[in-house]
Structure 1
């Protein structure tokens, strides 16, 4: 838990039964059960392909395999409407406790206890199944840190440190609790609109089957499948810092919902991510905020009472939880899922005062591109081919739901809020600021962090 940059664990999960969870095996276990897939275009534009611009289908894993393997369209069900050469498909954020609720014995195939988290199994894990090209937009997670096991195929991870936040142009539109998105398509950046992106320090690693990646707190990441079928499992590890992060998220939710809900619905701006059920009311959001603040002070009081018994040689465990990116399919109410997480009973870990943990040859650091070495063994750390300036400027940190309607694929590029003169400066006569422009400033991670600290100080007094 003391690691402050990404690392790949090798030879740690060789005896995990989950390593046999390839697509054919899972298809047999699911036995015709349908799951939701997100479909996006393989073409790469200048704008990130957010979840709000994707299409969605419910299909079996057997139909997904028939489609991805080029079998007759009669076997691919709803995928037959999407040409494989033009589209990718992703069954993402599938909570194992939900899709295998009738087979709880399968939870034990995943043993996060081997990484020092007693009792953590598949019940606290998430499944990802994708075709070649499937990806998640570049974002950071507000809560916890992330352990990811690759099972089938390979995925390429593009990671950026918390200090690069201002260079990645953070946005909360589309909105999802616990996700701060980047406005930059990092695989094809628009450097005219986002010139500071040149200052980012990219860490790029290809994760192969049997390897586990640690994504530390507030590290940005863009993930893409590079093989015909990829399967991975992750678990978000709760941290003490999540208590303050929940206050920040409650403030963000209140501002975004209040301002965006006041807009004319006919504007057609899909500001809620498909993972959010609805725009919550001001009254509900105020309840969120008060509960988050109460949970924060409750955790502080518990922490202060435990200090005399604390040890500097191990991670302290709490009975506090963060409900990480609970998706629509989990079916839990907002009050019980996100901001009442102190009642759920997961463990929270504190990394303060810990020294470097000697994992030996099983732990490989993910280095910045400028520090690549040939000693990385089977771990593919690579350059993504961009001309980046590897600066260390900044010290920033900062992490979307739609109503249930079918989302329509759109290939339109996002238009800037203003037109530019030939020298690249804004044309004052044509400037037209939007609500989203205002929100990008109001709910910028740095601003929200300051507001949360001021609010907590006022409440404490």
Structure 2
């Protein structure tokens, strides 16, 4: 007798409509019954991968009031069996022997399933994103994450795409912030990772002296349990931490038709970062490139990327919401109807679709002191670590009443090298790569392309 297919609260068409319409994070608690991927525990993966080594990222379990970026972590190639022995307190732990389990967490992150199981393609069918309305999307278009308690990804914003995340084993806690709060997250592109904009803030232990506006950011927190799927809308910031001894999750980034401009912006950003950071830093120790990125990229290749993105942008505007390949992705459950939607979208929140709540009002009550959050140039100064309302340092004045007759700055004794902080390459990049600047450059490139 054939097994009866599990009943889903939403069919593929309705699930896709919800994902397309949602503008805030939400959890689908019961859409994955019967998925074979729910058997992908660490023990199951160990058996499938056998002696094949996997790269793990290791970070210290310590509070520093600063994000632990991937450039600051250690890395080992190890079997999943060694990983499991390490988490179980055993001594036969291979490359993990140099790291105390009491002092470190480990994370096998960004593991593309198409590569990981290329010799076992039947594994792809265990993941069924097609049931969310994305026909043909399965494990081949997904990424695997395996970690210990404390393992985390720094708070960041994906430049394009939305995100569906299946929790398989253990629990993960997600801290999310709406795109409107970007300035309060103090964004940075160093370290550089294509399509990831990092926050300068340690969102669990923020330094509010350096980043005062963060306390007004609207934090949304949810703990994801096995079998649940989290939807992360386009451009929502997120910090993710594992809270159980072993966690496994699978995600897929889904391309959107509005990503064309963002891809142009990413191409411009990459070209500027590589052109400037290729020059050796003053002390030769600047770890600016994320380990996920290829070190051997030429300027010609980056310019080719710019040209491809510009040429593809008009075509993307007229294409359907991306079903073809994975990619990295206003702030409420409602929006005006889009093409094909005859009526405004209303999220069907309830037992089968759970909104992720905002803690913003509680944060403001816990921090009753007024914090001035200024816009325009003042907010840019704040993003460089200065307190809003304070006077910019003299080194930031490139011209003014005190300039010499030839137009060069005329320095007073207090402006001497000994009494000021020099502008660094990263300070310069922070201004050049400001979202408003990159957005305008992208628009100008597209205008030029259309005129040719």
Question: What is the aligned partner in structure 1 of residue 120 from structure 2?
Answer: 103
Supply the distance in 2 between the matched residues of 1:276 and 1:441 (Cα, whole angstroms). Answer: 23
Question: What is the aligned partner in structure 1 of residue 97 from structure 2?
Answer: 80
Map 1:45-84; keep pairs closer than 5 Å. Answer: 45-72=64-91, 75-84=92-101
Supply the distance in 1 between the matched residues of 2:352 and 2:279 (Cα, whole angstroms). Answer: 53
1:369 lines up with 2:369 in the alignment: no
RMSD, aligned CA: 2.9
Question: What is the aligned partner in structure 1 of residue 50 from structure 2?
Answer: 31
Question: What is the aligned partner in structure 2 of residue 308 from structure 1?
Answer: none
The answer on whether the counterparts of 1:162 and 1:218 sit within 8 Å (CA) in structure 2 is yes
Supply the distance in 1 between the matched residues of 2:48 and 2:242 (Cα, whole angstroms). Answer: 23
1:185 lines up with 2:175 in the alignment: no
Q: Following TM superposition, by how much is the alpha carbon of 1:120 offset from its aligned partner in structure 2, in angstroms?
A: 0.8
Q: Following TM superposition, by how much is the alpha carbon of 1:144 offset from its aligned partner in structure 2, in angstroms?
A: 0.2
Cα offsets for 1:9-50 (capped at 9, x unmatched): 111101111111111111111112110000000102121100
Map 1:80-229; keep pairs closer than 5 Å. Answer: 80-229=97-246
Question: What is the aligned partner in structure 2 of residue 356 from structure 1?
Answer: 346
Q: Following TM superposition, by how much is the alpha carbon of 1:447 offset from its aligned partner in structure 2, in angstroms?
A: 1.9
Alignment counterpart, residue 250 of structure 1, candidates 267, 273, 296 = 267
The answer on whether the counterparts of 1:19 and 1:151 sit within 8 Å (CA) in structure 2 is yes
Supply the distance in 1 between the matched residues of 2:43 and 2:269 (Cα, whole angstroms). Answer: 42
Q: Following TM superposition, by how much is the alpha carbon of 1:280 offset from its aligned partner in structure 2, in angstroms?
A: 2.2
SS in 2 for 1:46: coil
Question: What is the aligned partner in structure 1 of residue 423 from structure 2?
Answer: 433
> Unaligned stretches of 5+ in structure 1?
304-315, 326-350, 373-382, 397-415
Supply the distance in 2 between the matched residues of 1:31 and 1:232 (Cα, whole angstroms). Answer: 19
Supply the distance in 2 between the matched residues of 1:384 and 1:151 (Cα, whole angstroms). Answer: 35
Cα offsets for 1:318-377 (capped at 9, x unmatched): 57645549xxxxxxxxxxxxxxxxxxxxxxxxx8354235365210000101579xxxxx
Supply the distance in 1 between the matched residues of 2:423 and 2:45 (Cα, whole angstroms). Answer: 49
SS in 2 for 1:249: helix
SS in 1 for 2:191: coil
SS in 1 for 2:190: coil
Supply the distance in 2 between the matched residues of 1:64 and 1:212 (Cα, whole angstroms). Answer: 26
Alignment counterpart, residue 232 of structure 1, candidates 245, 249, 255 = 249
Alignment counterpart, residue 453 of structure 1, candidates 440, 443, 446 = 443
Supply the distance in 2 between the matched residues of 1:130 and 1:386 (Cα, whole angstroms). Answer: 32
Supply the distance in 1 between the matched residues of 2:346 and 2:149 (Cα, whole angstroms). Answer: 37
Change (3 A) 1:389 1:281: farther
Cα offsets for 1:390-422 (capped at 9, x unmatched): 99x8999xxxxxxxxxxxxxxxxxxx99999xx
Map 1:228-377; keep pairs closer than 5 Å. Answer: 228-264=245-281, 267-278=284-295, 280-300=297-317, 302-303=318-319, 316-317=320-321, 321=325, 323-324=327-328, 352-353=338-339, 354=341, 355-358=345-348, 360-370=350-360
Q: Following TM superposition, by how much is the alpha carbon of 1:434 offset from its aligned partner in structure 2, in angstroms?
A: 0.6
SS in 1 for 2:293: coil
TM-score normalized with structure 2 length: 0.80
1:2 lines up with 2:7 in the alignment: no
Cα offsets for 1:91-114 (capped at 9, x unmatched): 001111111111100111111111
Cα offsets for 1:280-300 (capped at 9, x unmatched): 222211111011101112334
Structure showing greater Rg = 2
Supply the distance in 1 between the matched residues of 2:55 and 2:367 (Cα, whole angstroms). Answer: 37
Supply the distance in 1 between the matched residues of 2:223 and 2:430 (Cα, whole angstroms). Answer: 32
Report 1 or 2 for greater relative contact order, CA contacts < 8 Å, sequence distance ≥ 6. Answer: 1
Aligned length: 390
